[in-house]
């Protein structure tokens, strides 16, 4: 099952034990090396510092909420040492420029979809410039097309066909 990252933000996080909302989901914490969601930042109304919800602690994604076993699944960012580099990078692909390996600028990341089973970013939704948007629709880039991810831009494999097919190549020969 896939979900847009923008649809997961501001979803209530509900404890299965109490049946109450314990927090609200904020933007996910991404590993920049493999574009994997390692945790969700959680906002609790009466607490100054946001907490983290590790993706392994999520019991289920419902249509209108995220379900966890207990409120104790929410952890302080200072208690999780293995994600300190991911937290310090604070990486989000939103707004990052996307460039083809040929050097052509494709646009900026408008949203991305997450595979809710593997917690990996599956597709990037690219908003093109106004001029290109007039002549075509927005681009969707699959994770298999991503070549390089840096804090400043994302490089993808260019899918444009540069050679024109000859008329004889376009239609296969049929021999009786």
In angstroms, the CA 25 to CA 21 distance is 11
Q: Where are the alpha helices (DSSP H) in the chain?
A: 5-8, 84-89, 130-135, 167-170
In angstroms, the CA 59 to CA 34 distance is 23
pTM of the model: 0.80
Compute how many other C-beta atoms are within 10 angstroms of the C-beta atom of residue 87. 16
Find out whether 112 and 123 touch, Cβ atoms under 8 Å.
yes
- Average pLDDT of each block of 10 consecutive residues along the chain (176 residues)? 92 93 93 90 88 93 93 87 75 92 91 94 88 70 92 87 53 52
Show the domains of the chain with their CATH numbers. Answer: 2-89 (2.30.30.240), 97-156 (2.30.30.240)
């Amino acid at each position: 099952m896939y979900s847009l990252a923008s649809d997961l933000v501001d979803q209530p996080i509900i404890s299965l034990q109490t049946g109450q909302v314990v927090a609200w989901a904020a933007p996910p914490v991404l590993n920049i090396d493999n574009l994997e969601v390692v945790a969700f930042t959680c906002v609790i109304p009466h607490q100054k510092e946001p907490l983290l919800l590790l993706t392994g602690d999520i019991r289920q994604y419902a249509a209108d909420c995220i379900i966890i076993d207990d409120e104790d699944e929410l952890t302080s960012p200072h208690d999780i040492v293995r994600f300190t580099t991911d937290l310090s990078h604070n990486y989000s692909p939103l707004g990052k420029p996307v460039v083809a390996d040929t050097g052509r600028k494709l646009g900026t990341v408008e949203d991305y979809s997450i595979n809710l089973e593997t917690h990996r970013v599956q597709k990037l939704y690219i908003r093109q410039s106004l001029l290109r948007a007039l002549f075509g629709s927005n681009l969707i880039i699959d994770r298999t097309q991503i070549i390089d991810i840096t804090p400043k831009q994302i490089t993808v494999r260019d899918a444009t066909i540069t050679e024109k097919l000859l008329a004889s190549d376009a239609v296969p020969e049929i021999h009786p």
